[in-house]
Amino acid sequence: MRLSKRGEYGLRAMIALAEPADKSDAPQMMQIKEIALREQISTKFLEQILLTLKNAGLLHSKMGVGGGYYLARSAKEITLGQIFRVLDGPVAPIKCVSQMAYEPCGCPDEETCGLRLAMGDVRNAIADILDNTSLADVTKRQGAVRKKLGIK
Amino acid sequence: MRLSKRGEYGLRAMIALAEPADKSDAPQMMQIKEIALREQISTKFLEQILLTLKNAGLLHSKMGVGGGYYLARSAKEITLGQIFRVLDGPVAPIKCVSQMAYEPCGCPDEETCGLRLAMGDVRNAIADILDNTSLADVTKRQGAVRKKLGIK
DNA sequence: CTAATTGTCTACTAGTACTATGGGATTTAT
DNA sequence: ATAAATCCCATAGTACTAGTAGACAATTAG
């Protein structure tokens, strides 16, 4: 049940891009270097990850001087589940309960397989959280905790 | 978020051992070969897995003719979470939210890290299911589904 | 006592995935 | 033209996964 480094870094980067830079709601553009420095990630590795996210349609980019990355949609419309699946594949712990990458497992009868029933519950619980949490939800929650603790 | 083959086979074997063989509630004893055949698992591989489970205190065994494995406690007292952790390690998707194997991640402030907050929810959701589902629950549910479908 | 049966233990291997790193090509602003 | 960025491909090291192999120890039947 583990999130890979690619997944972790990708999620962190997306959250960073979702944080409102100023009062305006304008989508923020950031460069790889900038994100890498701030999140303490290898620049080259992050480059690869952001490119994957871009090719999946979650990010847009601008090349050349003054370029960078920005969210393809508003932070409200991008969920953690979307990002996770691009970088770490299906959410399901076992293929026979996967919605996006179903494959039969070895059990004689899937419908009555106890393991499958339990893992189905797990899959649903995970997907429920990941697919219903947007980047906006994450930054909002971060802000709320900060405020509560009296931190800038 | 994946269950390894070791984890899958181990869980299947434990469920098989938890299934009541006859009307009595006596703990069932089964041999490696028997389980391997029934669940279509390599005997040698399963052997290794059952041994791990035994050394973790979840199984007991009897050597020699007529020997085999049996549950160390009643099926009600063994949860999927216990088995999972022995074979696949911590349930948490990221170390900084792990209860049994905590390690700090790279974020500047853990308390306000949005990713950590979200992954903490995921960890809790998974642990909630796995730690509150016993082997008895699994076999019971299996039985209920079978009955509903009119299958033996 | 002996042989058969069953679990115990350690080591090894082939393949795959993960975590990067490096070098160049392409695009854009000045 | 030059510098600053992204784009893209290849590769290397490490660790993990899913097994396989074989010798050893304990128990029981006869």
Using alpha carbons only, give the angle A136, B92, A7 rounded to the nearest 5 degrees. Answer: 50
Q: Which of the nucleotides in strand D have any atom less than 7 Å away from a protein CB atom?
A: 3-10, 17-22, 25-29
- Tell me, in Å, how far CA of A3 is from C1' of C9? 33
CATH number for the domain that contains residue B37: 1.10.10.10
The reported pLDDT for the residue numbered B23 is 57
The answer as to whether A121 is a domain residue is no
Report A:17-76 residues touching B (Cβ under 8 A). 39-41
Rounded distance between C-alpha atoms, residue B128 and residue A125, angstroms = 10
Our measurement of the distance from residue B136's CA atom to the centroid of its chain's CA atoms, rounded to an integer in Å, reads: 12
Q: Shortest CA–C1' contact from B34: which nucleotide? A: C6
What number of C-beta contacts closer than 8 Å exist between A and B? 118
pLDDT, position B21 = 73
Assess A12–B contact: CB distance below 8 Å, yes or no. yes
- Domain residues for B42? 1-78
Is A28 a domain residue? Answer: yes
Please state, rounded to an integer, the average pLDDT across all residues of chain A: 94
Within a domain: A120:
no
- pLDDT at site B105: 84
- Which whole-number Å values give the CA distances from A24 to A15, A19, A107, in the listed order? 17, 11, 54
Residue B58 placed within a domain: yes
DSSP string, A10-51: HHHHHHHHHS-SSSS-PPP-B-HHHHHHHHT--HHHHHHHHH
Q: Give me the pLDDT at residue A10, please.
A: 98
Q: What is the dihedral of CA A81, A20, A61, B114, to 10 degrees?
A: -30
The average pLDDT across A13-24 equals: 85
Tokens read off for B8: 């899958």
C-beta separation of A85 from A91 below 8 A = yes
Q: What is the pLDDT of residues A20-48, one digit of tens each?
A: 876 566 679 999 999 999 999 999 999 99
CB A47 within 8 Å of CB A32? yes
| pLDDT attached to residue B107 | 81
pLDDT digits (tens, 9 = 90+) for A42-87: 999 999 999 999 999 999 999 999 999 999 999 999 999 999 999 9
A94 domain-assigned? no
Encode burial over A69-94: b for 16+ CB neighbours within 10 A, e otherwise. Answer: bebbeebeebbbbbbbbbbbebbbbb
Low-confidence ranges of chain B (pLDDT < 70): 22-26, 152
Give a yes or no: residue B124 inside a domain. Answer: no
Which of B124, B117, B56, B60 shows the shortest CA–CA distance to B88?
B56
Tokens at B26, concatenated: 């006596």
Residue A152 has pLDDT above 90, yes or no: no
Residue nearest to nucleotide D20 (CA to C1'): B44
Distance of A16 CA from C9 C1′ (whole Å):
50
Q: Which of B131, B63, B124 is nearest to A128 (CA)?
A: B124
Structure-token pair, residue B106: 């790279």
For the CA of A48 and the C1' of C18, the distance in angstroms is 14
| Residues 6+ away with beta carbon under 8 Å from B26 | none
H/E stretch holding A71 reads strand A68-71
- Residue A9 belongs to a domain: yes
Q: Calculate what percentage of chain A has a pLDDT beyond 90.
A: 86
Residues in chain A, total: 152
Q: Give Cα A3 distance to the centre of its chain.
A: 10
pLDDT at residue B118, rounded to an integer? 98
B101 part of a folded domain: no
* Nearest DNA or RNA nucleotide to B33 (CA to C1'): C6
Number of domains in chain A: 1
